Structure 1
Amino acid sequence: MNKKESISSIQTALLFLVGITGSSIILIPASVTGAARNGAWISFLMAWLAGFLLLLSILYLQKQHPGLTFMEYSRRMVGKPVATIMAILFLLALFWQEAAIIIEVSGFFKSTMMKNTPSPVINAMFFTMAALTARAGIEVMARMFSILALIMFGCVTAVLLLVSVNFHLEFLLPVMPDGIKPILHGAYIAYGFPYAEVVIFSWILQFVRKDEAQRLGRDMCSAFVINGTTLLFSIVSSIIVLGPLAGDLKYSLYQLARLVFVQEIIERIESVIGLSLIIGSYMKSTIVLFIITRLLSQLSGLSNYRIVIFPTTLICLLLSVTMYANEASFVEDGYVMWPLFNTIAYVVPMLIVLAATWVNGRMRK
């Protein structure tokens, strides 16, 4: 049943685009600017280049092992015991990531738009939508997300264009008032979220139709360029509008939307950014949940991944309401430990399999 599911190269690139853009379009500008200040755009470009190398790596692995999941070709390259250990690390990180996506969007609503709504209620609504969509399958996700992606990017673009009358280019200077260390710190944050997460999308590449496999690399790279352009422009816009406050105000794009004022006709359109965050977080959480269930089904030997969707969703919901007692501890983990954990759980296993694949290919020659 699962093997019959297939999507086009463009649809795969679209899922990749919404997955790495998703909630990061709202969260990354403030977090990176808070660390690197005016040099945030340099930090972002450094992280983006690291993410691009990871993208090229997973595309190479998929080309060498067509039609297989990350776990399947890991078993071939490094053996079942090592592959199982790597899969468990992968799984732990995915569970944390799924819960963290919803914790972040819940925190956004609690601090801005739905202050009196309990967090568990918001979390439960998001997880319910994600579970039902993931259960429908990747083909439904690909068709549905194409429309939602247009809405999300349309809302973000509209806000950035409308707020452009408040641009002050002089706010870009000085670029590195405190030296290179803040720049590297900002790059570390942006690398951990979202670019180290590029590796998890190796789990959806197997669904590309065989007759479109040759176009996959081009479409995925195009999606990555669109992501980079959007996030870079969002960071720069935050700096040249908010100035020194850009790194101190959480949810930069939300703050920009509050500044929009067009002849007393269009103003205070922060709800548009709220809609973008809802859509982006929903799409990303659905993709991550889908990947978790695929990995769980392969680890347990189940032929139908849909069986574990609802139990997995319940676990993620419980994690989202119990993992952190306050926002400070969540922020510390998200911006300090998460990039390191991502590297250990996602990047290192991928690099091991990449090296084994390359050595195996050289030996065959």
Structure 2
Amino acid sequence: MKITITANQAALFLFVFLTSSSIINIPSPLISFAGNSAWLSLIFSAICGLLIAFPVIWLARVFPGKSFIEYSREVVGTPITFLLGLPFLFYQIHMAAAIVLDIAMFMKSSMMRETPAFWFIFLTFMVVAVSVHSGIDKITGLFPVLMGNVLFFVFLIIIMSYKNYHPSNIFPIMPDGVKPFLHGVYFSFGFPYVEIVLFSMVLPYVPSLGKKFGRKLSSAILWNAFCLVAATVVTIFVFGPIAGERKYSLFEVARTVNIADVFQRIEALIGYSLIVASFMKTTIVLFTAHQTCIHLIGLKEDKMLIYPLAMLMAIISCTAILKGDVQWGFEVSAIHPMWGFTCAGLPLLIVFIVALLRKKKPAAAAS
């Protein structure tokens, strides 16, 4: 019997996927690129995310119970599916490696500086692999609870840091013209909104995509945009011109909290949130990467590939340490969004356009 999840669970799963690590990691680099227009870049990127969700949902309805790789074979054939699927798999492997490496770098820079980074990497991937092995029904039940904890701590920090708000910091919004805004759109669409394409590997587990399913996924994207905009605006309010220099911005915001000499030094809450959020996103990416891999090579539901994939991701993370923080930061902020467009967004659009044209041909012939 195939494991299934409900439409509501799928929508919550998408919200967790888009929001988990991004709410901690996005504000700082986005502000460094877009300045005070960072929140506008997020809004525009979220609109683009809604647009890219349409072909994902449409294809899932036209090919019910099939993943992106499976219906790609029907639409463009097996050889082209391999050409599209291998970069798609590589993109997911690199993404998971980057997320866990970010955990290791955070722990090394802020909490456990004497511990070798590979310990964080291999232990995280071990827990992630065990979680994926437990099944999608288990993680879709657990992750909304964990995400609720993360959001509670994030918004608690946002509320408690109100004394440090300087709303005037958000002006002027576009002092250097439209180029920084567009740079912010490029970055924030590449992370996290183009990643919605990965959800094409999850939707086969939703047995019924009713009329309201599109609205539910759209609501998940809009709520994600609200959370990211809130975190970005608060960072600008607190730090102003130097907001883009704070690598883990909400962690730094938490350090500024000092209420009646009682509530202070509570940045550990954001540290916990970063680790839990990154764990959730890595688990989802490993799940989609595993589905992509087994469908590319034509296996049935074989969980034996979960652990080799996790090991490969861990090795890539450890290798990336040798590049240094600066080089790895450049790859994640500048190259990773481009990989998202070319390895995930473009293959989906190719399959969508071909499927759309083939669907119209019989109707045209009949007329």
Structure 1 gap segments, 5+ residues each: none
With structure 2 as the length reference, what TM-score do the two structures score? 0.96
Matched, 1:26 2:24: yes
Contact 2:46 2:222 in 1 (8 A): no
Question: Partners of 1:139 and 1:165 in 2: how far apart?
Answer: 42
Structure 2 residues not aligned, in runs of 5+? none
The 5 Å alignment of 1:189-268 reads: 189-210=187-208, 213-268=210-265
Q: After superposition, give the CA deviation of every residue in 1:295-343 in whole Å (9 maximum; x if it has no partner).
A: 1111222212311011111111111101342011111111111111111
2:14/2:220 contact within 8 Å kept: yes
Q: Does 1:69 align with 2:67?
A: yes
The 3-state SS of whatever aligns with 1:246 is helix
Aligned to 1:308: 305
> Within 1, Cα distance between the matches of 2:352 and 2:176?
38
Q: For each residue in 1:129-158, what CA deviation from the matched residue of structure 2 results, as whole angstroms up to 9, or x when unmatched?
A: 100000001000111112111111111111
Matching residue of 1:51: 49
For the pair 1:100 / 2:103, whether they are aligned, the reply is no
Q: What SS does the aligned partner of 2:244 have?
A: coil
Pairing 1:362–2:356 present: no
Is residue 187–residue 334 contact of structure 2 (8 Å, CA) maintained in 1?
yes
- Counting only pairs closer than 5 Å after superposition, residues 1-365 of structure 1 correspond to structure 2 as 4-210=2-208, 213-325=210-322, 326-365=324-363
Structure 1 runs (4+) deviating above 6 angstroms are none
SS in 2 for 1:109: helix
Letter in 2 for 1:18: V
Retained in 2: the 8 A contact 1:293–1:305?
Answer: no
SS in 1 for 2:174: coil
1:265-321: CA deviation from partner (whole Å, max 9, x where unpaired): 211110111111111100100011011111111122221231101111111111110
Deviations 1:73-110 (A, max 9, x none): 11111111101111111011111111011011111111
SS at match of 1:323: helix
Contact 2:65 2:207 in 1 (8 A): no
Contact 2:59 2:352 in 1 (8 A): yes
Asked if structure 1 preserves the Cα contact closer than 8 Å seen for 2:42 and 2:184, the reply is yes
Letter in 2 for 1:261: N
The one-letter code matched in structure 2 to 1:197 is E
Residue correspondences, number: 362
Q: Residues of 1 paired with 2:191 and 2:174: CA distance? A: 22
After TM superposition, give the deviation of residue 125 of structure 1 in Å: 1.4
Q: Give me the CA root mean square deviation.
A: 1.2
CA offsets 1:155-182 (integer angstroms, 9 cap, x no match) = 1111111112221111111111111111
Identity of aligned residues (%): 34
Structure 1 length as normaliser, TM-score? Answer: 0.96
Deviations 1:60-81 (A, max 9, x none): 1112211111011111111111
